[in-house]
Amino acid sequence: MIGKSLGTYAAAWAADGSVPAVWLAPLLTDPSCVADIARSPAPALLGQMASLQVGQALIETITPPSRIVAVVESQLKCNMKVPCDIM
């Protein structure tokens, strides 16, 4: 599954069903979301993070850490557009 921001609340469902997930701009300030991502036995990719440090701290709580495919810091804005010069 792919969830963005508030979609992170589906992490409990994904964890219960062992569903691989991509979490874009995950709600890492919500302890229940973090716990659900951490307890899921399925692979996950964390992306569009404001800080790689936050993502790395989450990975340290996950066993085994190999379930996390990648933590990606991104310049994407909330609208998922990459900043660029048109002219």
Residue 18's Cβ-side half-sphere holds a number of Cα atoms within 13 Å equal to 1
pTM of the complete model = 0.70
The pLDDT score that the predictor gives to residue 41 is 87
Residue 68, pLDDT above cutoff 90: no
21-24: strand order across its sheet: 2-4, 21-24, 44-49, 68-73
Most confident of 4-13, 47-56, 57-66: 4-13
Token pair for 45: 């990719």
pLDDT at 5 (0 to 100): 86
Task: Write down the pLDDT at residue 31.
Answer: 85
Per-position DSSP letters for 9-26, written without gaps between them: GGHHHHHHTT--EEEES-
Query: Would you state the pLDDT for residue 4?
Result: 87
